[in-house]
Structure 1
Amino acid sequence: MNNLNIDFEKVNGLVPAIIQDVDTNVVLMLGYMNQEALDKTLETKQVTFFSRTKQRLWTKGETSGNFMLVDHITVDCDNDTLLVKVKPLGHVCHTGEDTCFGESNKSKTMFIDHLREIIKDRKNNPSDQSYTASLFAKGINKIAQKVGEEAVEIVIEAKDDNKDLFMGEAADLLYHYLVLLEAKKYELDEVMDVLIDRHKNK
């Protein structure tokens, strides 16, 4: 993040900063940063803007406590707009809404894409400490077996009323299923395509 090449002069010293939730990909708000605001954001890992109304630096959450913790920052192709991926600590808008656009930011399903990238990395860059890497090392039969075991376990838990146990088995099944897809060199998007086609043909 420290090697960001931004053309501040192109836009009179201020560049727009699009703030996006790193887990949900929901756009939370838009602010503006000058060099000083960006430097402070990089230093503190908390989003800091330049307030055009107050004419000073403004760290989001400095009064409410709803800070936005920076995960990573990228620059657009013209080097004059920032995309800041964050973990928000509470609602973002001063109105109490999740976002400044009135949209909900409750879903965490986009985390699956992040998890897929981690699984792919464990396959391509294995380590002795990684459980995921150990699954890939054991081969497709062992991975498929684990998916079967987790499927049976979630069926068993579904017959009871213990939510914690059921959720644990659901997470295990989903994780091992994603590992199986990666082992087969198939993308989750391909599964989505099948579901989309089925939906269209209903």
Structure 2
Amino acid sequence: MTFAEARERMVREQIEARGISDARVKQAMRDVPREAFVPESLKSHAYDDRALPIEAAQTISQPYIVALMAEAATIGPEDKVLEVGAGSGYAAAVLSRLAAEVVAIERHAELADLASRRLTSLGYANVRVLAGDGTRGFPDEAPFDAILVPAAGGKPPQALLDQLADGGRLVMPVGGGIYQTLIRLTRTPAGFARDEYGSVAFVPLIADRD
């Protein structure tokens, strides 16, 4: 089976079968070569239905989780998106197919550099990867139409909520322990509306100390 065939099967069996219906999200998952974002030794497992280890003792998220978060964020083609925790750059690449601009912040400088070079070599020109503490957001370029946080915390950092545009959406797992609840908070004139997307398992969100 070719990688293209594996991608198509992934979308059919892992994405559509679990209820992801957004056509743009499904096409983005078909377009981005996940095998380019995993270590050489794991390329044959690139489309497995699970997270995989990457450099700096981190992981690349399960494909379904990437699609679920992207769909929950309801990203439009003119949107500016912030991702907290770039990892390998895979999710940022998927988001780049949905948004006008993506800024991804990665606390591991090694990963930020690898992801940036990888995305550039693959031609994802509307993505920037920066090294830093993503829990602080990127106030110089706020507001953002969507913010995605693929790491769990007790509650979303206030700095990220403050950087949402009117109508902006923050998607993040909240809760402690092994399992958390994936939520979307949408900024409205009356405050933040909350939607839930079921139980998930993420690594903890880590903030750098001053």
* Alignment TM-score > 0.5, same fold: no
TM-score, with length taken from structure 1: 0.21
Q: Please tell me whether Structure 1 or Structure 2 has the larger radius of gyration of its CA atoms.
A: 1
TM-score (norm 2): 0.20
Relative to total residues, which structure has the larger strand share, 1 or 2?
2
